Amino acid sequence: MSRQTPLHAAHVEAGGKMVDFAGWQMPLNYGSQINEHHVVRQTAGMFDVSHMTVIDVSGEGCCEFLRRMVANDVAKLDCDGKALYGALLNDAGGVVDDLIVYRRSHGYRCVVNASTRDKVLDWFADQAPADVLVEEKDLAMIAVQGPRAVVNFQTATHIDLIDELSPFGFLEHNNWMIARTGYTGEDGVEVILPKADVSALWEHLMDVGVQPIGLAARDTLRLEAGLNLYGQDMDTSTSPLVSNLAWTITWQPASREFIGRDALRAERTAGITQKLTGLVMEARGVLRRDQRVTTSFGDGVITSGIFSPTLGYSIALARLPIKATGDCQVEIRGKMLPVRIVKPPFVRRGQSVFD
């Protein structure tokens, strides 16, 4: 039996089409995923992301532990109230998961995917030394995203100073953690809060006109924003170097021996052969995962493909030979169709941004 978030009844009441996702019953859409997509790009929408896994890491050695676990360096978080995005790697340099790490006064909070919960908890338990405490927290989480998200959130909650948070900054307000982060390419916040508080927040946000958005629109929004989905655009068989995540690897100081470092160094020395990049297809049709891409430097494959509601045509992320640029072709139902390789993101703040 799959789990329900505390907002389950609210989703059903709002007309949510509930589906099983990573062991949770979650809303796929509340009618039209395209309309929901536009709401987030144009005004403000909210997502129940209570299925995501929240792990608190504390104790004497917590900073050194996370500096070893995460390829990005949590030591860059030079004060409380800052967060960063990064990847957990295995010894072979493959991505175990991506996560956000928040620095708090008594340790760190990690938010990882729902689909990877057991694997990551096991990985942390295996690796944690005696002076580090790893605890999963049973909390709720709402993402409010869109150009009006911050204004509407402040109106709904009467919590000030959210608009002064920088990207990846966060503040703590009673038992709530409010961070200027998201997965849509729009401004907004993600709020981690006790389960008992979440229904009231959801209702207050509804009252100020923030609309509920389902998982289907979450996928088209994140793909337009050029953001990877774990298990689809990257997994343990791919390193950050071939997943458009080289920017999340912190190489300096050289003395920091994070897990996977040696393998990444070896991969770089041997020469990186692939890249995760963007495709656009203005011809009619929709790019889909697993479709073959033919370039003059060899073949590649689409890892995520959608119809982009903002652009009005199809876009994709694809793993291609590193030298491939410009025009190439995708095979769709036996036909070779022209596509163009572009650097993601495709859309930021509601506007087309690729060249």
Q: What number of chain residues touch another protein (CB under 8 A)? A: 16
Structure tokens belonging to residue 310:
């903002």
| Beta carbon nearer to another protein, 94 or 214 | 214
CA–CA separation, 180 and 190 (whole Å)? 6
Decide if residue 284 touches another protein (CB under 8 A).
yes
Q: Minimal distance in Å, beta carbon 333 to another protein?
A: 7
Nearer to another protein, 251 or 307 (CB): 307
Cβ-contact 169, 213 below 8 angstroms:
no
SS3 349: coil
Pair of tokens at residue 292: 């073959």
Q: Is 307 in the site for another protein (CB under 8 A)?
A: yes
Q: Is 216 in the site for another protein (CB under 8 A)?
A: yes
293 touches another protein by CB under 8 A: no
84 binds another protein (CB under 8 A): no
Contact letters for another protein, residues 20-49 (x by CB under 8 A): --------xx--xxx---------------
Reading the block at residue 163, the tokens are: 């608009």
Q: Pick the closer one to another protein by CB: 309 or 344.
A: 309
For Cα atoms 277, 237, 68, give the angle at the middle one, nearest 5 degrees: 100
How crowded is the C-beta side of 93, counted as CA atoms within 13 Å? 18
User: How many other CB atoms sit within 10 Å of the CB of residue 232?
Assistant: 14
- 285 sits near another protein (criterion: CB under 8 A): yes
CA-angle at 185, arms to 180 and 188, nearest 5°: 30
Question: Does residue number 334 form part of the binding site for another protein (CB under 8 A)?
Answer: no
Q: Is 250 near another protein (CB under 8 A)? A: no
| Of 256 and 288, CB closest to another protein | 288
CB 138 within 8 A of CB 53: no
Q: Are strands 45-48 and 211-212 parallel, antiparallel or unpaired?
A: parallel
Residue 201 one-letter amino acid: L
Angle, alpha carbons 4-9-10 (nearest 5°):
115
Minimum distance from residue 306 beta carbon to another protein (Å): 6
DSSP strand pairing (298-308 vs 313-321): antiparallel
Selected from 333, 334, 351, 355, the binder of another protein by CB under 8 A is 333
Contact letters for another protein, residues 219-238 (x by CB under 8 A): -x------------------
* Contact window for another protein (CB under 8 A) among 127-135, 259-267, 274-282, 301-309: 301-309
Q: Where do contacts with another protein occur on this chain (CB under 8 A)? A: 17, 28-29, 32-34, 216, 220, 284-286, 288, 306-307, 309, 333
